[in-house]
Amino acid sequence: MPSVPTPTPRVAAFERLSYGLFLHFGLYSQLGRGEWVQHAEKIATEDYLPSLMATFTAEDFDARAWAKLARRAGMRYITLTTRHHEGFSLYDTRGLSRWDVTHTPCGRDLIAEFVDGCRAEGIRPHFYHTTLDWNEPRFKSDFPAYLAYLRESVEVLCRHYGEVGGFWFDGNWSKKDADWEEDALYAVIRKHQPNAIIVNNTGIEEPGRLGNPEIDAVTFERGRPEPMDRTGHPRYVAAEMCHTLNYHWGTAARDLNYLSPAHVIEELCACRRAGANFLLNVGPLAQGGIPEYEGALLRKVGDWLEVHGGEAFFEAKPCGVQGEGSDFGLRLGEEILLFVHDLTATAATYASGGPRCQGPGPRRFTGVPGGYREARWLDSGEALAVRREGEAVVVEATGYPYGTNTVVRLAKLTR
């Protein structure tokens, strides 16, 4: 009978990180119209790179402040764009390209500052690196030579910044039928950074697609992952959903369609349901500061995590416990965490005594082993009535106290 493979130590360590901060920062940040602005507005290389590099000071870039915010939010790793599709690098390319941060008024190696800031706060640094380059002529004219340049660039990142948590590649979807020589690229990482996670984004159109055998985690870009059936697979591959707080990954001043803290909490819980990591993006402002709203939102989600177990929240694993609707359960040691949605009751409902959406009341869960008889809300410690009905456990979910709403409420089920 086919078995489920065991994760390698690096994949198991990556899954334990669980929740990370994605940061898209580059020349495009100065324009405030998203990270694809050059491509979208068809700005020529000679009109884009030299002028934006001349004004790039990164005077508000404070990697340790980023890491402190991530830690406050309950995050455990940060993935930063070392080079995006515009071809500008936040690191010293050691002569490989004139389009790097050392040729700007900033003059600092921002990736060196990034890794130092992360390590000072106990945050794992991960590197995003584009495989697509709009401004490198060899990408179109001599693709094998371009791939050699790409490998040399990644080798610089491997050799000069200490131990790296992972590499997150993006852009292979731009030439779907090309030979990207992935084996050679990943061999560079395995040589210098054997414990680094390797991710290569398959994009919105192909979520969860397995790729090269060296890939350690499949991606779900702005799409909720489903639990992966790894039965019979040759190796254990993790999963990661990446999502952004509005409709751009780089800062965009006129994109006001932001997610709410409630939405982010629901997405985080959905990722835990699938056993997938959640990588949540923020686009820093022109010179590197974190926008006010995004910072406040991350702290609000951090407050929710603190109420619901903090780091222990991420240790819970899928175990086949399923509720009705969005409800589900995860195993945490000998305990089961029940995730209860849609408890909200409006003031009008209280006043009229009228019908509610699911609301407080009995919640049925299947897949719970025998012997579980007690349940308590994590946020208040209130005991909940528990009974068995055939194959199901039924928990009488009480409503929120007046003035309280945690979006998703967790109960601990014990024997």
Q: Spell out the alpha helix ranges (H) of 243-288.
A: 261-274
Q: Which pTM does this prediction carry?
A: 0.95
pLDDT at res. 228: 86
Q: How far is CA 120 from CA 70, 167, 213, 349, in A?
A: 12, 20, 33, 49
pLDDT at res. 348: 45
The predicted-structure confidence for 262-276, as pLDDT tens digits, reads as follows: 999 999 999 999 999
> Given phi > 0 = left and psi -120 to 50 = alpha, else beta, which region is 310?
left
In angstroms, rounded to a whole number, what is the distance separating the alpha carbons of residues 377 and 398? 9
53 Cβ partners below 8 Å, 6+ apart? 27, 88, 99, 103, 104
- Cα-Cα-Cα-Cα dihedral sign, residues 9, 15, 20, 22: positive
Residue with structure tokens 């990722």? 271
Phi, psi angles (nearest 5°) of residue 204: -65, -35
In angstroms, rounded to a whole number, what is the distance separating the alpha carbons of residues 321 and 138? 52
Residues of the chain with CATH 2.60.40.1180: 317-414
pLDDT at res. 352: 47
Indicate the SS3 state at residue 33.
Answer: strand
Total residues found in the chain within this entry: 415
Task: Give, in words, the CATH class of 317-414.
Answer: mainly beta
Q: Which two tokens stand for residue 126?
A: 């991960």
- DSSP letters, 202-230, are -TTTSTT---STT--EEEEETS-------
In angstroms, rounded to a whole number, what is the distance separating the alpha carbons of residues 353 and 346? 11
pLDDT at res. 357: 53
CA torsion, ordered 359, 361, 366, 372, to nearest 10 deg: 130
> Parallel, antiparallel, or unpaired for β 166-170 and 328-332?
unpaired
Looking at 69-187, which runs of residues are DSSP E strands?
A: 77-83, 124-130, 166-170
12 Cβ partners below 8 Å, 6+ apart? none
- DSSP letters, 298-355, are HHHHHHHHHHTTTHHHHH-EEEEEEESTT-EEEEETTEEEEEE------HHHHHH---
Residue with structure tokens 């009228």? 354
Residues of the chain with CATH 3.20.20.80: 9-314
Per-residue pLDDT of the chain (415 residues; tens, 9 = 90+): 678 899 999 999 999 999 999 999 999 999 999 999 999 999 999 999 999 999 999 999 999 999 999 999 999 999 999 999 999 999 999 999 999 999 999 999 999 999 999 999 999 999 999 999 999 999 999 999 999 999 999 999 999 999 999 999 999 999 999 999 999 999 999 999 999 999 999 999 899 998 899 999 999 999 999 888 898 889 999 999 999 999 999 999 999 999 999 999 999 999 999 999 999 999 999 999 999 999 999 999 999 999 998 878 899 999 999 999 999 999 999 999 999 999 986 544 444 454 445 789 999 999 999 999 999 999 999 999 999 999 999 999 999 998 899 999 999 999 9
pLDDT at res. 346: 57
56 C-beta neighbours (distance < 10 Å), count: 24
Q: In terms of CATH architecture, what is 9-314?
A: Alpha-Beta Barrel (3.20)
pLDDT at res. 309: 84
CA torsion, ordered 370, 375, 378, 380, to nearest 10 deg: 180
